[in-house]
Amino acid sequence: MSNYIDRFNTKERVLHWFVTTTFFTLLLSGLGLYSRLFTGYFNLFGGGQKAITIHKIAGVLFFVSSLILFLHNRARTVDFNRDDLEWCRYLGGYLSREEIHLKVGKFNAGQKVFGVFIGLATLFLGITGVFIWWPLAFPRWIVQLSLLIHGLLFVLSAMFVVVHVYLGTIGNPGTLEAMLWGKVSRAWAKKHHPKWYKEVTGE
DSSP code at position 85: H
Summarize the confidence of residues 26-40 as an average pLDDT: 88
Contact present, 77 and 169 (Cβ < 8 Å): no
Q: How many independent structural domains does the chain possess?
A: 1
Instruction: Report pTM.
Output: 0.92
Backbone Cα Rg of the chain:
19
pLDDT at 100: 79
Chain segment 132-191, per-residue pLDDT in tens: 999 999 999 999 999 999 999 999 999 999 999 999 999 888 899 999 999 999 999 999
What gap in Å lies between CA 183 and CA 9, rounded to an integer? Answer: 9
The residues pairing with 145 across neighbouring beta strands, listed in sequence order, are none
CATH of the domain at 161: 1.20.950.20
Q: pLDDT tens digit string along 101-128? A: 889 999 999 999 999 999 999 999 999 9
Band the pLDDT of 61: cuts 50, 70, 90. very high
Predicted local confidence at residue 1, as pLDDT: 58
Nearest to 199 by CA among 92, 107, 116: 107
Q: Quickly state the pLDDT bin for 25 (edges 50, 70, 90).
A: very high
- For residue 161, what are the domain limits? 4-201
Q: What is the pLDDT of residue 152?
A: 95
Does residue 32 carry a pLDDT above 80? yes
C-alpha–C-alpha distance, residues 203 and 200, integer Å: 8
Span 85-102, pLDDT tens digits:
999 998 888 877 777 788
